[in-house]
Structure 1
Amino acid sequence: MTLQNDAENLSDSFVSGDEDNGGAPTSIRNINNEINGNWLSSSSNSIHEARLKAKAKRRLRKNSSRDSGRGDSLSDNGDAVRGTSAAPTSPKSKLLDRKSRLGKGRGLPKKGGAGGKGVWGRSGEVYEPEEVDVKDPNYDEAQENCVYETVVPPLEERDFEKTVTPIVQEYFEHGDTNEVAELLGELNLGPMRSGVPTLAVSLALEAKASHRELTSRLLADLCGPVLARSDVENAFDRLLRELPDLVLDTPGAPQLVGQFIARAVKDQILSKSYIEGYKGRVDCEHARAALDRAAVLLKMSMGGLRIDNLWGTGGGQRPVTQLIKEMNLLLKEYILSGDSKEAERCLRDLEVPHFYHEFVYEAIVMVLESKGEKTCKMILQLLKFLCESSIITVDQMRRGYERVYMDIAEINIDVPRAYFILEQFVDKSFSAGVIDEKLRDLCPCRGRKRFVSEGDGGRVKLESY
C-alpha cells in the first residue's frame, strides 16, 4: 500500500509539474533517470507500474460501459479477472446489436425491436390520422377537405381507332365478350361510345362469317354494361351514311349491314320501329337496299327463319356431324356443276382447315360408291386442283387416304369391288401427283384363298386381284 501511494503521489507530482512549468522539469528529470528507455532508480519502477495500472483502469472502464458491468475487472493487485460472461467478439457486431448498452433494464431490444434506420414502427402498428396544424406555414385551408381520385381523360377521336381496333381484332381470336367489356370499361369513351359498334361492324364486313357472328354477339353483350340503345342506333345510322364508301372495299356491304340490323332487332338492342323510321327518307340506293334486306329477314323470321343463327357457326364450333353433312352436300353440288373454284370457295367458308382430311375421306368414299368413271375423274380433278392451290395440305391429304385404308374392310361389306376400285384410284392419284409413292405402296389389297390342283398337294395359295 505504501508503494502504491508513493506512485500515485509521484504521478500527481509529474502532472502538476507539467501543468506549472510547461513540462521542463519533467523532461530534465527523465533525462537524468532514464538511459536507453530503462529506468535507473527504484522509484522509476513504481512510476512505470502506476502508469500501467492507470491504463488498465481506463480500459476496464471502457469495457464495462459496453458490457453493462459484466466484463473484466481488476483485482486489488491489478490483475485482470474474467467475468462470468464472455467478452464482446467484435466492435462491428456491437454496432448492429440493438440491446441497451447502459447496463440497465433486462437487456431487451431498444424500442421494442422497432428501432433502426428506415423503420417507422413495429409490424402491425396502425397510425392514426394526423391532425392538421393550422399554424403550419404550408397549411392551405382550401385543401383541407380534398378527395383525390384517379381521373382518366376522355378518349380523343384521333386515338379512338388505334385503341379500339386491336381490342376487336383480339376478340375475333378468343371470342370472350367479358374481356372486351372490361377493356372498354377502363377507357373513358365519352361521346365516342357509338363508334364501338360502327368500328366492329366495319371490321366484320371484311372478315369471315364466323367473325360476323361474333360481332353480333358482342353488340348484344355490350348493350347495357358499356353501351346504351341510343349508342347502337347512332352507330347504325352512321353505317348507313357510310355505305357508299364501304361498298368500294366490300361489294356486298348493303346486304351484310341489313343482316346486322335484322340481327340487332332480334336481339332487342334496336327498336322494332327503327326500320319504319326510315321510310320515305332514304335517298341512297345502298342504304335503301340494306333496309329492305333487314325488313325481308324480319318478315321471314315470323315464318320460322332463325335470325339468331343468321351467320351460322363458323370454324371448329360446329358439330362434327354438321360439318360432314355440309362436305357431302359440297361434293354432290360439285359433281352436278363441275365448278372447282366454287367448291374451293365453299370449302374455305367452312373455316376448318384442320378438318380437311374428312373432305378427302368423303370424296374417296364417294368414288368407291359410284358406278361410273365420271365421278372418279371429277373427284381426282378436284383433289388435284385443291392440292395445287394449297387449300388442302400434304398432311391433310395423307391423313384422308390413310383413313380410307383403315376403313376399307368395312366399306367392302357394302361395296364388294371396293378394293379393286381403290387400287385403281390410288394409281391414278399417284400419276396425277396428288400422293407420293410411299402412300401409294400403303394401299391395301384384298387377299383370296384358292385351292390349286391336286399336284400341289392341296396347299392354299394367297393371291390378290
Structure 2
Amino acid sequence: FASRRNLHINVNISDNTFTGNVDNEINGNWILAPTGSIHEARLKAKVKRRLRKNSSRDSGRGDSLSDNGDVVRSVVPPTSPKGKLLNRRSRMGKGRGLPKKGGAGGKGVWGTPGQVYDEDKVDVKDPNYDADCIYETVVLPLDEETFEKTVTPIVQEYFEHGDANEVAELLAELNLGSMRGDVPMLAVSLALEAKASHRELTSRLLSELCECVLTAADVEASFHKLLKELPDLVLDTPGAPQMLGQFIARAVADNILPKSFIDGYKGRVDCEYSRAALDRAAVLLRMSRWTGLRIDSLWGSGGGQRPVNQLIKEVNLLLKEYLLSGDTVEAERCLRELEVPHFHHEFVYEAVIMVLESKGNRTLQMVLQLLKSFCASTVITVDQLRRGFERVYLDMADLSIDVPCAYSLLEQFVEQSFDAGVIDKKLRDLCPCRGRKRFISEGDGGRLKLESC
C-alpha cells in the first residue's frame, strides 16, 4: 500500500491546515491535489458518486465538475459507449413496439380489431402485409362434370336416410354458381329410375330446399329443362311422362311452382311426351280441386313410413298368394317392394305361424323352400331369420292354446330347417319342448302318450 501511495503532508494541528503536494486516488481517479482541505476533495468525490447514481432520465447525459465544483452537464451522443454503460433504464412506455425475443409481447401481439388471418398461410413479416385485410378461403364454382359427380352421391344417400336438412347443409357448403338450378333436375332424374318411396322423398326434398338453398325461379327452370329432355328420359324410363306430370302437380300443390306454369305451355308444345306430362299434371290438379284428391300423398307412403298393422296384412297376403301359386321369384319381388328390410323378422314369424296353424305337410314344405330361397339370395339376413324364430319360441305358450300339437309341429319344422341349412345348431337347440308331459296312467312307468293331431 505504501508503494502505491506517497504522502508528503505537513500538518498544522492548531488551525487544521496543511501544505504540500498530495498524490492520492479519489473514486478511482488519480488526481494531483492542490492546496486545500481534504474536506473539499471528499465533497467533490461524493458529488461524482451521486451523479453516477442519478435517475434513468439523466443516464444518457454526461456530467462533470468545473474547477470551482459546479456541475457541468454535457450531452453524450446516443451511440457513445459511455451513454450505454450501466444503463438500467426501463423501457416501459418508451419501447419501439417490437416483440420480445421468443415472440412474446410487443405492440399488436393480439392483433387489431377486424383482422382475420391464418398464421400458417400469412407471413406477417411480408412488407406487403396489411393488418386490416381479411383473408378467406375461396371455393371455385362447380362446372357441369364436377357438379354431377358431387351432387349425385348426396341425393343417393338421401334416398337411404331421408334427412333433407343434411342435404341442405351439404349443398350450402358447395359453390353451385350457375348450376344451382340443376339440383331439382338431377334429383327428379334419379327419382324417375328409383322406387315410389324415393319419388315421395324427392318431392319433399324439393319443398325443403326451396326455402333455404333454391329459389322458385331455380325450380321452374329445372322443370322446363326436364320437359325438354323427356325424349331422352323415356329411353331409360318408359313411364317418365306420367311420373314427371305427377312431379309437376306435386310441386304446384307445394307452392314451389307457380299455378301458371302449365298454362304457359298451352298451344306451344310439339313433343308428345311433354304434352302427356302436362296433361297428367293438369288432370291431377283438377281432380284435387273437384274431388278432394290429396296431392301430398300422390306417391303413397312406402317403406317404414307405413303403419305396422298394414305391413303385417301385406306380409300375410304375400304368403297366401305364394301358397296358391308357388312362385318363389314373384314372392321375392313382392317382399323387396315392401322396402322394409328391418321388418323381415315379421315375415319369418308369420311364415312359421302359418305352418303351425295349417297342420299340413304341404304348407311346411313350401314355407321351408321359400325360406331357404330367401336365405340363399340374402333377401332375409341371418339376424332377421334368428329374430323371427326366437319370437315364435317366446309365443309358444299362447300358441299351444289354439293349436294343441304346436310343440310337436314346431320341433318337426325346426329339425327340417336345420337339415336344409336354413338355421344353425344353436338356434335349433333353443327350440322349446312340449309344456306338459301326458302319461297313459299313473302306473305306466313314465311311458309318454303318442300325439294324435
| TM-score bracket for this pair, using the shorter chain length | 0.5 to 0.7
| Structure 1 residues 325 and 122: alpha-carbon distance in aligned structure 2, compared to 1, 3 A threshold | same
Tell whether the 8 Å contact from 2:162 to 2:201 is kept in structure 1 after alignment: yes
- Whether contact under 8 Å (2:359, 2:409) holds in the other structure is no
- State the AA in 2 paired with 1:4: R
After superposition, the Cα gap between the structure-2 partners of 1:127 and 1:389, relative to the gap in structure 1 and judged at 3 Å, is closer
Instruction: State whether residues 139 and 175 of structure 2, in contact with CA within 8 Å, keep that contact through their aligned partners in structure 1.
Output: yes
- Deviations along 1:79-116, one digit per CA (max 9) or x if unpaired, are xxxxxxxxxxxxxxxxxxxxx963567x9899699851
- Whichever residue aligns with residue 3 of structure 1, its letter is S
**Secondary structure of 2:212's aligned partner:** coil
Deviations 1:33-92 (Å, cap 9, x if unpaired)? xxxxxxxxxxxxxxxxxxxxxxxxxxxxxxx99xx9xxxxxxxxxxxxxxxxxxxxxxxx
Paired position in structure 2 for 1:102? 87
C-alpha distance 305-363 of structure 1, shift in aligned 2 (>3 A): farther
Per-residue Cα deviation, 1:383-427 (whole angstroms, up to 9, x for no partner): 232122221123322322222122111112223332233234334
Whether 1:240 and 2:224 are equivalent positions in the alignment is no
CA distance in 2, matches of 1:451, 1:153: 85
> Does the 8 A contact of 1:448 with 1:463 survive in 2?
no
Partner of 2:100: 116
* Shift in CA distance, 227/443, structure 1 to aligned 2, threshold 3 Å: same
Match of 2:208 in 1: 221
Match of 1:415 in 2: 403
SS at match of 1:268: coil
Structure 1 position 345 matched with structure 2 position 329: no
The aligned amino acid for 2:372 is K
Q: 1:153 to 1:241 in 2, by over 3 A?
A: same
> Could you tell me whether the CA contact under 8 Å between 1:449 and 1:460 is conserved in 2?
no
For the 8 Å contact 1:177–1:218, the answer to whether it is kept is yes
Shift, 1:319, TM fit: 4.5
CA distance in 2, matches of 1:454, 1:184: 79
Query: Does the CA-based 8 Å contact 1:430-1:436 persist in structure 2?
Result: yes
Asked if 1 retains the 8 angstrom alpha-carbon contact of 2:249 and 2:281, the reply is yes
Comparing 398-407 and 250-259, the one that deviates more: 250-259
Structure 1 residue 4, shift from structure 2 partner: 1.7
Q: Hey, what does 2:48 align to over in structure 1? A: none
Q: Answer yes or no: is the 8 Å Cα contact 2:439–2:448 preserved in 1.
A: no
- Is 1:257 paired with 2:244? yes
Contact 1:411 1:418 in 2 (8 A): yes
* Aligned counterpart in structure 2 of residue 161 of structure 1, from 127, 132, 148: 148
1:4 corresponds to: 4
Is 2:440–2:448's contact at 8 Å kept on the other side of the alignment?
no
Deviation at 1:198, TM superposition (A): 0.5
Residue ranges of structure 2 left out of the alignment (5+ in a row)? 7-22, 24-51, 57-84, 116-126
Matched residue SS, 1:169: helix
CA contact (8 A) 2:99 2:109 kept: no
Change (3 A) 1:304 1:425: farther
2:355 corresponds to 1:367: yes
Q: 1:409 to 1:207 in 2, by over 3 A?
A: same
Matched letter for residue 316 of structure 2: N
- Return the alpha-carbon distance in structure 2 between the equivalents of residues 111 and 464 of structure 1: 109
In the other structure, the counterpart of 1:172 is 159
Shift of 1:311: 3.2
Match for residue 51 of structure 1? none
Does residue 402 in structure 1 map to residue 390 in structure 2? Answer: yes
- Higher deviation after alignment, 273-282 or 117-126: 117-126
Q: What's the CA shift for 1:195?
A: 0.9
**What letter is aligned with 1:351?**
E
The alpha-carbon distance between structure 1 residues 249 and 278, as it changes in their structure 2 partners (threshold 3 A), is same
TM-score, structure 1 length as denominator?
0.64
> Matched residues in 2 for 1:460 and 1:356: separation?
42
Identify which of 328, 331, 339 aligns with 2:316. 328
Residue 350 of structure 2 aligns to a residue whose secondary structure is helix
> Would you say the 8 A contact 1:449–1:461 is kept in 2?
no
In structure 1, the residue matched to 2:15 is none
Question: Is 2:142–2:175's contact at 8 Å kept on the other side of the alignment?
Answer: yes
Distance between the aligned counterparts of 1:387 and 1:455, measured in 2? 48
Structure with greater proportional helix content: 1
Deviations 1:229-264 (A, max 9, x none): 232122112112222222333333233322222221
Aligned to 1:356: 344
Distance 2:229 2:139 in 1: 31
- Distance change (3 Å), C-alpha of 1:361 and 1:299: farther
Equivalent pairs, count? 364
CA contact (8 A) 1:229 1:269 kept: yes
Contact (CA 8 Å) 2:188, 2:202: kept in 1 or not?
yes
The Cα RMSD (Å) is: 4.3
Of 383, 386, 393, the residue aligned with 2:381 is: 393
Q: 1:281 and 1:418, CA in 2 relative to 1: closer, same or farther beyond 3 A?
A: farther
User: Which one-letter code corresponds to 1:5 in the other structure?
Assistant: R
Match of 1:92 in 2: none
Distance of 1:417 and 1:293 partners within structure 2 = 57
Using a 3 Å threshold, how does the CA distance of structure 1 residues 301 and 116 change in structure 2: closer, same or farther? same
Quick check: 2:440–2:449 contact (8 Å CA) kept in 1? no
Cα 1:368/1:450, change in 2 over 3 Å: closer
